């Protein structure tokens, strides 16, 4: 048979077309031209079904890399003879590719990551990506870095009765965790700082009556929702909130305009965020702008906030490009802050960056020392993180802590509104600095305890009374919560020492004794608050403790579960959601409702039976 004749070519094409389509769908080979290229028949054929349709075949086509497609130029003119024993496969009998299950379809609709995986390049196994890749194994994209820390361990009250830490008012961790979950990823363990998750939300604690005593603690003890043998000790404060019209601020915007900021969720979002902040300032305030990208520069000299058009014009002219010289920019920003310093007012540098510091002071310790030295002059530093993939959270946290400021992660315009509009007092105006907490547990009542979160805020026992040791600051109107899980005597996990003391601990009926130290913003001498934790503060049911207790406990359980904590992970997502719903209370900003939706996302990405990542 002459294969070069048009009739022969057409016949062979008709014979090979079904096998070609079969191989096309099973190996994702994409034809490179309009002519039919004969392909070697597969060694094993797929099971056939009579109801195959071309539309179903085309719905899962995956492009094959070009280098894997070998097309011989003479294949168009010469075709190997087909053995007569091989019968053509009828078009109607070809097997369509396996269709995704309804559950997978729902997961793909709810999870863009799975949708992307379903469109993976050829060479990836589609069947495995459909059936063997549970949402819980969606890994975090590389590029972001976080300080590594070990979870707070359980302590025996008879051996270590005193716990000391610095308050943490930052909220960056929650905003980052939320973004990761919304993008279809489970955040890495070190990105989850449970105290920042809890403190992201406002709580209805009694406010201080005057600036002289800027806060007072609220204490409650109630059953632990994830462990029937333990209780939670809740310590909450709400800072005094002055009238903003009476405040004066000298603000220096230190803006990263390096090439890494060239992304819609970085510099463009930063400009819009600062526009929101500018609208909250009064004629008493001044604004300066410093940029750093290759070399530092002054984009705007100290200018009255009344000249909003001038300030916005300077912001609008900023563009991303160049390498990062963060340290040089910081030095220039502090010089401008000192130049326009307001006695008795707020003097603050606001660093906005994706956290990349590649040039300048290379030694992180030297950079932190520089910031710490500058805070002594009355100029604080706050950090706003933007974007993902280049985020150096560890450096931003260290700079904010050493600069007597706070760190926030601006993941969206809505988050910018929360931080820079709704919480502007807490972001800009400090009402108490170097706030330390020390709790002494009574071994006669408490056998074991552990602090939930605050791993990066640990202080030594002797640091509490040392006013030279730096600690966290509290802003105007800010609420801060700390939770201890405590175990009553007789229900402890740790066995008593065989050769230890046989004498029973002596003491009062107090559960614990709370001490807090703080300094007024313009003082170097700390003040002391002391409150005993007594039996009348104990509630038999968490519902009786109120919505603050219920919601804080739900967020703590969420944080423990999402990071596969050694404590508290046994609580199911449904139980966490129910507890959060019970503690929603008044939710003017809708943040608690948003958290409840976030629990649903976490349940999809990390099901209850998933214990590790």
As a whole-number percent, the residues of the chain with pLDDT over 90 amount to: 54
**pLDDT, tens only, 257-266:** 888 898 999 9
| Average of per-residue pLDDT across 231-249 | 88
In this structure, the chain runs to a length of 613
Higher pLDDT, 81 or 583: 583
Q: Given this model, what pLDDT does residue 55 score?
A: 39
Question: Closest Cα to residue 40, out of 48, 29, 52?
Answer: 29
| Average of per-residue pLDDT across 10-15 | 53
| Average of per-residue pLDDT across 335-348 | 93
Check pLDDT > 70 for residue 507: no
Question: Closest Cα to residue 178, out of 469, 415, 527, 444?
Answer: 415
Check pLDDT > 80 for residue 47: no
Higher pLDDT, 78 or 175: 175
Check pLDDT > 70 for residue 587: yes
Contact 550, 209 (CB under 8 A): no
Q: Given this model, what pLDDT does residue 243 score?
A: 76
Block residue for tokens 């706003």: 384
Contact 286, 308 (CB under 8 A): no
List CB contacts of 351: < 8 A, sequence separation 6 or more.
Answer: 254, 256, 330, 333, 381, 382, 383, 384, 396, 399
| Average of per-residue pLDDT across 366-394 | 88
| Average of per-residue pLDDT across 488-493 | 88
Instruction: Collapse the DSSP code of 513 into the 3-class scheme (helix H, G, I; strand E, B; otherwise coil) and give the result.
Output: strand
Q: pLDDT tier at 9 (50, 70, 90 boundaries)?
A: low
Check pLDDT > 80 for residue 16: no
Per residue in 528-563, is it b (16+ CB within 10 Å) or e — as a string? ebebebeeebbbeebeebbbbbbbbbbbbbbbbbbb
Q: Given this model, what pLDDT does residue 384 score?
A: 94
Q: pLDDT tier at 101 (50, 70, 90 boundaries)?
A: very low
**pLDDT, tens only, 27-37:** 443 444 444 33
Check pLDDT > 50 for residue 113: no
- Helix H, strand E, coil C: the string for 434-480 is EEEEEEEECCCCEEEEEECCCHHHECCHHHCCCCCCCCEEEECCCEE
Higher pLDDT, 459 or 125: 459
| Average of per-residue pLDDT across 598-613 | 84
Q: Given this model, what pLDDT does residue 495 score?
A: 86
**pLDDT, tens only, 151-206:** 999 999 999 999 999 998 899 999 999 999 999 999 999 999 999 999 999 999 99
In 294-332, beta strands by DSSP E: 295-304
| Average of per-residue pLDDT across 304-309 | 95
């Amino acid at each position: 048979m002459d294969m070069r004749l048009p009739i022969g070519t057409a016949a062979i094409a008709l014979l090979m077309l079904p096998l070609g389509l079969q191989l096309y769908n099973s190996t994702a080979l994409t034809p490179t031209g309009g002519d039919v290229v004969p392909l070697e028949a597969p060694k094993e054929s797929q099971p056939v079904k009579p109801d195959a349709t071309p539309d179903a075949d085309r719905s899962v086509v995956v492009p094959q890399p070009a280098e894997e497609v070998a097309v011989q130029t003479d294949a168009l003119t010469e075709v190997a003879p087909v053995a007569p024993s091989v019968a053509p496969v009828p078009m109607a009998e070809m097997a369509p590719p396996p269709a995704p299950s309804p559950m997978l379809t729902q997961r793909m609709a709810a999870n863009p990551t799975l949708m992307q995986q379903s469109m993976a390049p050829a060479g990836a196994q589609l069947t495995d990506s459909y059936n063997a890749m549970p949402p819980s194994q969606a890994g975090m994209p590389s590029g972001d870095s976080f300080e590594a820390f070990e979870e707070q361990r359980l302590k025996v009250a008879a051996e270590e009765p005193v716990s000391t830490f610095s308050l943490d008012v930052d909220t960056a961790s929650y905003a980052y965790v939320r973004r990761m979950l919304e993008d279809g990823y489970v955040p890495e363990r070190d990105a989850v700082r449970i105290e920042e998750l809890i403190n992201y939300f406002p709580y209805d604690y009694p406010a201080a009556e005057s600036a002289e005593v800027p806060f007072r603690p609220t204490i409650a003890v109630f059953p632990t929702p994830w462990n029937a043998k333990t209780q939670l000790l809740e310590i909450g404060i709400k800072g005094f909130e002055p009238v903003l019209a009476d405040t004066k601020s000298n603000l220096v915007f230190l803006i990263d305009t390096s090439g890494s900021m060239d992304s819609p969720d970085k510099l463009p979002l930063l400009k819009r965020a600062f526009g929101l902040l500018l609208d909250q300032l009064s004629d008493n305030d001044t604004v300066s702008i410093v940029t750093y990208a290759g070399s530092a520069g002054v984009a705007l000299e100290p200018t009255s906030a009344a000249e909003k058009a001038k300030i916005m014009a300077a912001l609008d002219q900023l563009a991303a490009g160049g390498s990062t010289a963060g340290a040089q920019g910081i030095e220039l920003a502090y010089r401008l802050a000192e130049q326009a310093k307001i006695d008795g007012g707020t003097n603050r540098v606001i660093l906005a960056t994706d956290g990349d510091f590649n040039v300048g002071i290379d030694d992180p310790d030297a950079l932190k020392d520089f910031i710490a030295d500058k805070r002594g002059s009355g100029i604080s530093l706050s950090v706003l993180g933007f974007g993902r993939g280049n985020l150096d959270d560890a450096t931003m946290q260290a700079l904010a802590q050493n600069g007597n400021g706070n760190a926030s992660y601006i993941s969206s315009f809505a988050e910018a509104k929360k931080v820079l509009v709704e919480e502007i007092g807490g972001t800009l105006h400090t009402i108490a600095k170097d706030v330390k907490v020390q709790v002494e547990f009574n071994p006669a009542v408490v056998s074991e305890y552990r602090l939930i979160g605050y791993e990066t805020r640990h202080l030594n026992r002797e640091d509490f009374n040392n006013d030279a040791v730096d600690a966290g600051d509290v802003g105007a109107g800010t609420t801060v919560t700390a939770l201890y899980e405590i175990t009553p005597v007789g229900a402890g996990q740790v066995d008593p020492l065989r050769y230890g003391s046989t004498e029973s601990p002596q003491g009062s009926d107090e559960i614990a004794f709370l001490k807090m130290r703080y300094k007024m913003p313009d003082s170097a001498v700390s003040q002391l608050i002391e409150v005993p934790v007594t039996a009348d503060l104990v509630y038999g049911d968490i519902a009786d403790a109120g919505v603050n207790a219920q919601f804080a406990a739900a967020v703590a359980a969420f944080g423990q579960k999402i990071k596969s904590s050694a404590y508290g992970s046994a609580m199911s997502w449904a139980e966490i959601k129910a507890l959060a719903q019970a503690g929603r209370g008044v939710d003017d900003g809708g943040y608690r409702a948003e958290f409840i939706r976030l629990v649903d996302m976490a349940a999809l990405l990390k099901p209850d039976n998933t214990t590790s990542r």
